[in-house]
Amino acid sequence: MTERITVTGSGAVYPASALCAGVALWWALTELGDIPPFLLPAPDAVVARLAGNPELYLVNALYTLEKVVYGGAIGIGAGIALAAFVAYVPWFRRAVYPYLVTVRVLPKLAIAPLLLIYLGTGMTTAIVFVALITFFPLVLNTAAGLDRTPTAHHYLLRSVDAGPIERILYVDVPYAIPDIFAGLKQSVTLAVVGAVVAEWVVADNGLGFLILMGSENVRPDVMLAALVVLLLVGLALYGIVVLVQRRVHERLGLEVLD
């Protein structure tokens, strides 16, 4: 199976048309629908907002990105490390795995106010929260991936007295790569969600904070402008993961399944 969305040549015509139609509809609603601009500003008003003060949005995007990058790095690193323990330490797996699966049901967003009490307001809380939210998809996907090697491969390596390290590095990890990327894709999306929620609860900067301020001052144009930037940040991060995945999968000769 190839990429579901192939944005090349004529393939881009349909989504591009849909985007134009959407913006046109939005514009028509504001222009002809008699909706006051303090409820729904016209697209050009949002663009004007962005163009009028690009620095504000860029600086806050960087603040949000900072939380995503630090929190994401910690969450992803810890997730992969814990997955290795789950996959290779039987007693640890038995003790911990059921809880990892159970906790998945818990909406991690609900933990944010609790972190506020323990860690106070500030960057640390935001980073810990992003780390927490990115951690779970990585653990579960990576652990499942490391289990994917067919048993006969293990027999084959044992038959030449190859050790566990060789087996993990040369066989288990490559078999887990598609699952690790599936986890990364979920994590990177959740990281942006986590950063915005953290900014609502504890921070005084970032795009989430900007949206909150826009709401308090009834400025939907500011909120929409911040949302557009947030969308671009999210897309860029997701795009990076997809690009890296494509390169790695090409090297491994695997198909990109998404």
Partner 1 sequence: MIDLENVDVAFDDFTAVANVDLGIDDGEFVTVVGPSGCGKTTLLRAIGGLQEPTAGRVTIDDRAPSVAQEVGDIGFVFQQHTLLPWKSALENVVFLRKMADKPPDREGAHALLETMGLDGFEDARPAALSGGMKQRVAIARAIHLGADVLLMDEPFGELDEITRDELGVEIRSLWRRERKTIVFVTHSVPEAVFLGDRCVVMRDQPGRIEATFDIDLPGPRDTESLGSQAFQEQVAAVRQTLHESYD
Query: Which of 40, 162, 213, 228 touches partner 1 by CB under 8 A?
Result: 162
Q: CA-CA distance, 172 to 153, in Å (whole number)?
A: 9
User: Rounded to 5 degrees, what are φ and ψ at 66?
Assistant: -60, -45
Task: Establish if 168 lies at the interface with partner 1 (CB under 8 A).
Answer: no
How distant, in Å, are the alpha carbons of 19, 66, 206, 232 from that of 25? 10, 35, 30, 21
**Span near partner 1 by CB under 8 A; candidates 5-13, 40-48, 102-110, 156-164:** 156-164
Task: Establish if 157 lies at the interface with partner 1 (CB under 8 A).
Answer: yes
**Spatial CA neighbour of 29 closest among 50, 43, 16:** 43
Q: CA-CA distance, 136 to 140, in Å (whole number)?
A: 6
Task: Establish if 93 lies at the interface with partner 1 (CB under 8 A).
Answer: no
Query: Which of 48, 56, 96, 171 touches partner 1 by CB under 8 A?
Result: 171
Site for partner 1 in 72-91 (CB under 8 A): none
Q: Which is nearer to partner 1, 10 or 159 (CB)?
A: 159
Task: Establish if 158 lies at the interface with partner 1 (CB under 8 A).
Answer: yes
Site for partner 1 in 214-253 (CB under 8 A): 251-253
Q: CA-CA distance, 194 to 201, in Å (whole number)?
A: 11
Site for partner 1 in 8-67 (CB under 8 A): none
Residue 140 half-sphere exposure toward CB, CA atoms < 13 A: 16
Q: CA-CA distance, 231 to 237, in Å (whole number)?
A: 10
Query: Which of 5, 34, 159, 165 touches partner 1 by CB under 8 A?
Result: 159
**Spatial CA neighbour of 135 closest among 69, 70, 67, 187:** 187
**Span near partner 1 by CB under 8 A; candidates 147-155, 181-189, 207-215, 218-226:** 147-155
For the record, the structure tokens of 64 come out as: 């949000």
Write b or e for each residue in 223-232: b if 16 or more Cβ atoms lie within 10 A of its Cβ, otherwise e: bbbbbbbbee
Least distance between partner 1 and beta carbon 255 (Å):
9
Task: Establish if 156 lies at the interface with partner 1 (CB under 8 A).
Answer: yes
Task: Establish if 153 lies at the interface with partner 1 (CB under 8 A).
Answer: yes
Q: Which is nearer to partner 1, 29 or 252 (CB)?
A: 252
Binding residues for partner 1, rule CB under 8 A, total 19
Q: CA-CA distance, 211 to 236, in Å (whole number)?
A: 20
Q: Could you list the residues that contact partner 1 (CB under 8 A)? A: 150, 152-153, 155-162, 166, 170-171, 174, 251-254
